[in-house]
Structure 1
Amino acid sequence: MSTTLNNQLWASADILRGKMDASEYKNYLLGLIFYKYLSDVELREVYEQENGQTIEFPEREEQFKILKDWYDEDKDDLEEIMRLQRGYFIAPEQLFYHFRQKADAYEFRLVDLQSGFNDLERQGEQFSNLFADIDLNSTKLGSNDQQRNVTITEVIKALDEIDLFEHNGDVIGDAYEYLIGQFAAGAGKKAGEFYTPQAVSRIISEITSIGQENRAPFHIYDPTMGSGSLMLNIRNYVHDKDKIHYHGQELNTTTFNLARMNLILHGVDKNRMRLKNGDTLDSDWPTEEPHQFDAVVMNPPYSAKWSAAEKFLSDARFERYGKLAPKSKADFAFLLHGFYHLKDTGTMGIVLPHGVLFRGAAEGVIRKALLEMGAIDAVIGLPANIFYGTSIPTTVIILKKNRDNRDVLFIDASNDFEKQKNQNMLRDSDIEKIIRTYKSRENVERYAHLASFEEIESNDFNLNIPRYVDTFEEEEPIDIIALSQEIVDINQEISKTEQEFLSMLNQLAVTDESREIIEATKRIFGE
């Protein structure tokens, strides 16, 4: 990943920073970067159509001239080719580069940018309502049209200075991920709605891909996908990333739009992207094929409320467990939804608060049923304060179907982290230790324990990690003789220092006032 590109993009946020919260201005900046990316891709595509594939591109001024000439000569032909090659077409007067030219000439108008957004949104389902959360009339951009125009003009100028294509690899997608993470850091509680820290994503992605690295096509599902980051991480562990199909659902419309942008910027074409804006628990989705997946990954909202209506007792996702997750804590509802959509050969990873491991009543019944069928493969305790927006410790639960045993691997990774200014951070070595321990599936003193079903049953199906992994370390015994000698030595040093101090007092020039101070001091030291 290019640090230079990251810094350039983040610096562009300075124009909006201070005008509104990070949770708000992220929509403007990420939306404009996405629009610039599509615009610049179009310029390059047209140049290659005219000149053949190349690794060297001329300045955008020349690229724009080629596109404009073709457009003036045969608009329909150009539009047809772009839609065929890229799935969209942006008219020359709506390209980001053209808006920059207008900005330099002090002729840029917000209505033209809004028109560009609107026209792109009409070009198929993948762009529908994509820019709905960018309010160009917001008073936070300025109190009147002129001030708002100036604000967006400055953002356009700053972003247009950045060459999104001068770096190798999938850099723009990674830079977008970086920005999402930066926004999450400043978004407080709202951050949890759209971002799972990369370290946690890596743990879940690597574990769920074990034994499936060569599977193609590979189908991954995230029913609470946020920005899509957790799904996208699987690309680092599946060998043929161009055959990964992404299936995701998100309730928050703003976050749903962010996920769509994120996947497109990572080069995911529309045929491998099936995303829905909706309530995961309220009605099951997907119900059409494929409805079960090679990997299910989830970081749902913790202890959220849901209806827990009686109708769900006959819902295929929940009916076999006899009980529903309580209304005040939907954690197990999310878990069972994801597990229902897991293939028999697949692996699921979900992040949840520790309460799911030991709470009783309905949750205890569900947990027991899962353990009896051998569904819970591993429980991994993570450090506190590693998520944006919450400081609570969390656990990653790994689930599988049709296992040949019912043991559970417990890993207590809660003490392995680097403490940073505002958060704790999982280091590469910490993550590698977790993965290594998961793969070996062996006991590690004060870190991991492989518990048999009988052992878990004897604990009344309570999965609280300290019951299985003892991390207590006895303090070293105190050497009383050495401690006594140390006290004697300290007292001798204090006495010596007092004598030296009193000697210095006797050498001072004496006045009536100072004599009183000296005498008082000697009385304090017992002389």
Structure 2
Amino acid sequence: MSEDQKRQLESQLWGIANLLRGKISADDYRDYILGFIFYKYLSERQYNYANTLLEGEAVEDYQELKDPELLDAIKEESLQTLGYFLRPDQLFSAIAAKGNSDTESESNYILEDLKSILNHIEQSTMGTDSEEDFNDLFDDLDLNSTKIGRTVAARNAIIVQILNYLNKIDFRLEDIESDVLGDAYEYLIGEFAAGAGKTAGEFYTPQQVSKILAKIVTTGKEKLKSVYDPTCGSGSLLLRVAKEAKVSEYYGQEMTRTTYNLARMNMILHGVHYREFSIKQEDTLEHPQHLDQRFEAIVANPPFSAHWKGDDNPIYHNDPRFSQYGRLAPKTKADFAFMQHMFFQLADNGIMASVFPHGVLFRGAAEGVIREYLIQELNVLDAVIGLPANIFYGTSIPTCIVVLKKCREQDDNVVFIDASGEGNFIKVGNQNKLREEDVERIVDTYRSRKTIEKYSYVATLAEIAENDYNLNIPRYVDTFEEEEDINLDQVAEDLRNLDSELKSNEVSLIGFCKQLGISTPF
């Protein structure tokens, strides 16, 4: 599929949001649009797969199949290969057609049928390997919610409208690369994030930041056994890593139910097989779900300065993730708790790159103790990268990327990069945005470990120790711009000329006042 075709698909999918504006609030219709796109994808995938199994049979079109024995056989194969099953009468096209059939003999009321189908998708996986990946996947599609219509008829009309619109779009799953539709889905998630205000940070990391993190953790690697995101949101960071290297297994954890469902949908839409990913719903710090595993690559954009139980719960003092550092991260700032958690799960040959607020670089007390231990005792800090302010949805604060490695090739220095200054980004609307060249410059500087005037500096561990392990980037990267010398003689001459001009103006003004017969202001 060409870039033009890809953009056309993105435009078609986004068109449904424009169709619903003014009828349902954006926060409400997001879940319905993304959920129904996913249902259509599952339907088309089921249809295509069933037709390949029917080749050579008397009935070669799955939509026309009635034979119960053949249906059972296709169900068994589908559950093994696809992880779910849909009967011909449960396909997206069938329910959309019913929504259009408002005749005397047949009603276009589809809400109950649709609810039953979505439940069936989840129930079809019961007792199979894919059960956890499909369990309660459509929870957020509440077809009885008054948010989409005050009456049953109004709700039905809105749902019929959404299905009709989507039914006209050909996903062309048999012709396109597996991640083209996934990328279009990702585009939609990004568009929704752009308009979601403060809640956007819960489920989406700007694409260019994701690209930096992904390129860093895949440095020197074409294949990764595993990639992990402890606060995975919609899963966009995990999937971005797969664009830089072949990934065998994806792991993530997400606390918010709606976002957890979105992450699983996003994985499947990108063609990630249900056996290749494990996304869990839980609080990562309180109930880590993959603690016995170690990961070759870790990427994250944790919630900035989140609250956690910390010192309120004695168990954390003996938790192997935190106990060796001597102090726990403050209860009101869990940034270092997330960092320690990720480092604990990092494989010996792994790289961790995560976004944090700037405070992790210089705040003292417990955070200063933890920071010093990471640098002096463990020597795992590999790079600190300052990003422009106002590039994340929902917050304008400046942020940084911290890179940790257990086995550092150059273990006597740390690379500092200041990509926050003018010329390192562009302004798009109310947001600042990194361009492709800005991303490449950051990544190239990290990989080459070069000192570039007013942009980067390779600091020795001794220099960092001299700064009391304060990592504030201006201590290492001097971006000060000297002002031009002022010619005081020229300034004096300009003032004399100005004084002469003022006196001349006064004389003229006095003359005008006399002509008008009014008093002068002097």
| TM-score, normalised with respect to structure 1 | 0.88
Q: Which residue of 2 aligns with 1:171?
A: 180
Deviation at 1:47, TM superposition (A): 2.8
1:227 aligns with 2:234: yes
Cα distance in 1, alignment partners of residues 412 and 440 from structure 2: 25
Q: Which residue of 2 aligns with 1:111?
A: 112
Secondary structure at the counterpart of residue 390 of structure 1 = coil
Q: Which residue of 1 aligns with 2:407?
A: 402
Range with greater deviation from structure 2 (6-15 or 161-170): 161-170
Following superposition of structure 1 onto structure 2, how do residues 128-147 of structure 1 map, counting pairs within 5 Å?
Answer: 128-147=135-154
Cα distance in 1, alignment partners of residues 420 and 43 from structure 2: 45
Structure 2 portions without partners, runs of 5+: 103-107, 126-130
Cα distance in 2, alignment partners of residues 491 and 165 from structure 1: 77
Secondary structure at the counterpart of residue 445 of structure 1 = coil
Cα distance in 2, alignment partners of residues 187 and 517 from structure 1: 66
Deviation by residue 1:93-125 (Cα, 9 ceiling, x = unmatched): 221101221122132411111111100011222
Q: Which residue of 1 aligns with 2:121?
A: 120
CA 1:494–1:172 in 2, change beyond 3 Å: closer, same or farther? Answer: farther
Deviation at 1:491, TM superposition (A): 8.9
Cα distance in 2, alignment partners of residues 517 and 141 from structure 1: 76
CA 1:501–1:328 in 2, change beyond 3 Å: closer, same or farther? Answer: same
Deviation at 1:18, TM superposition (A): 3.3
Deviation at 1:345, TM superposition (A): 0.7
1:48 aligns with 2:52: yes
Secondary structure at the counterpart of residue 294 of structure 1 = strand
CA 1:35–1:489 in 2, change beyond 3 Å: closer, same or farther? Answer: farther
CA 1:521–1:211 in 2, change beyond 3 Å: closer, same or farther? Answer: farther
Deviation at 1:390, TM superposition (A): 0.5
Report if aligned partners of 2:384, 2:416 keep a CA contact under 8 Å in 1.
Answer: yes
Q: Which residue of 1 aligns with 2:161?
A: 154
Report if aligned partners of 2:291, 2:345 keep a CA contact under 8 Å in 1.
Answer: no
Cα distance in 2, alignment partners of residues 41 and 500 from structure 1: 87
1:196 aligns with 2:235: no
1:418 aligns with 2:415: no
Secondary structure at the counterpart of residue 54 of structure 2 = helix
Q: Which residue of 2 aligns with 1:183?
A: 192
Deviation at 1:19, TM superposition (A): 4.2
Q: Which residue of 2 aligns with 1:22?
A: 26
Deviation by residue 1:119-152 (Cα, 9 ceiling, x = unmatched): 0011222211001011111111111100000011
Deviation at 1:43, TM superposition (A): 1.8
Q: Which residue of 1 aligns with 2:287?
A: 283
Report if aligned partners of 1:456, 1:463 keep a CA contact under 8 Å in 2.
Answer: yes
Report if aligned partners of 2:28, 2:147 keep a CA contact under 8 Å in 1.
Answer: no
Identity fraction in percent? 47
CA 1:231–1:498 in 2, change beyond 3 Å: closer, same or farther? Answer: farther
Range with greater deviation from structure 2 (1-10 or 314-323): 1-10
| TM-score, normalised with respect to structure 2 | 0.89
Range with greater deviation from structure 2 (261-270 or 94-103): 94-103
Q: Which amino acid aligns with 1:297?
A: V
Deviation at 1:226, TM superposition (A): 0.4
Deviation at 1:20, TM superposition (A): 4.3
Q: Which residue of 1 aligns with 2:91?
A: 95
1:466 aligns with 2:474: yes
CA 1:518–1:129 in 2, change beyond 3 Å: closer, same or farther? Answer: farther
Which of 39, 59, 62 is matched with 2:43 structurally? 39
Following superposition of structure 1 onto structure 2, how do residues 477-488 of structure 1 map, counting pairs within 5 Å?
Answer: 477-480=485-488
Report if aligned partners of 1:223, 1:338 keep a CA contact under 8 Å in 2.
Answer: yes
Deviation by residue 1:269-308 (Cα, 9 ceiling, x = unmatched): 01111111111001333134xx001101111111111111
Secondary structure at the counterpart of residue 140 of structure 1 = helix
Report if aligned partners of 2:464, 2:470 keep a CA contact under 8 Å in 1.
Answer: yes
Superposition CA RMSD, Å:
2.7
Range with greater deviation from structure 2 (6-15 or 319-328): 6-15
Q: Which amino acid aligns with 2:155?
A: R
Deviation at 1:69, TM superposition (A): 2.7
Which of 255, 259, 278 is matched with 2:263 structurally? 259
Deviation at 1:227, TM superposition (A): 0.4
CA 1:232–1:480 in 2, change beyond 3 Å: closer, same or farther? Answer: same
Report if aligned partners of 1:21, 1:187 keep a CA contact under 8 Å in 2.
Answer: no
Which of 302, 308, 317 is matched with 1:313 structurally? 317
Report if aligned partners of 2:343, 2:404 keep a CA contact under 8 Å in 1.
Answer: yes
Q: Which residue of 1 aligns with 2:348?
A: 344
Which of 381, 385, 398 is matched with 1:393 structurally? 398
Deviation at 1:27, TM superposition (A): 0.9
1:67 aligns with 2:76: no
Cα distance in 1, alignment partners of residues 380 and 243 from structure 2: 26
Deviation at 1:48, TM superposition (A): 2.9
Secondary structure at the counterpart of residue 71 of structure 1 = coil
Cα distance in 2, alignment partners of residues 381 and 191 from structure 1: 21
Report if aligned partners of 2:84, 2:122 keep a CA contact under 8 Å in 1.
Answer: no
Q: Which residue of 1 aligns with 2:274?
A: 270
Cα distance in 1, alignment partners of residues 411 and 190 from structure 2: 39
Following superposition of structure 1 onto structure 2, how do residues 329-368 of structure 1 map, counting pairs within 5 Å?
Answer: 329-368=333-372
Q: Which amino acid aligns with 1:438?
A: Y
Which of 306, 312, 316 is matched with 1:304 structurally? 306
Report if aligned partners of 2:63, 2:89 keep a CA contact under 8 Å in 1.
Answer: no
Report if aligned partners of 1:305, 1:328 keep a CA contact under 8 Å in 2.
Answer: yes
Deviation at 1:494, TM superposition (A): 9.8
Q: Which residue of 2 aligns with 1:293?
A: 295
Cα distance in 2, alignment partners of residues 464 and 452 from structure 1: 15
Report if aligned partners of 1:27, 1:133 keep a CA contact under 8 Å in 2.
Answer: yes
CA 1:482–1:171 in 2, change beyond 3 Å: closer, same or farther? Answer: farther
1:434 aligns with 2:434: no
Deviation at 1:488, TM superposition (A): 7.8
1:519 aligns with 2:516: yes
Report if aligned partners of 1:250, 1:276 keep a CA contact under 8 Å in 2.
Answer: yes
Q: Which residue of 1 aligns with 2:387?
A: 382
Deviation at 1:421, TM superposition (A): 1.1
Deviation by residue 1:130-181 (Cα, 9 ceiling, x = unmatched): 0101111111111110000001111111111111127743211000110010
Deviation at 1:523, TM superposition (A): 6.6
CA 1:452–1:88 in 2, change beyond 3 Å: closer, same or farther? Answer: same
Following superposition of structure 1 onto structure 2, how do residues 444-463 of structure 1 map, counting pairs within 5 Å?
Answer: 444-463=452-471
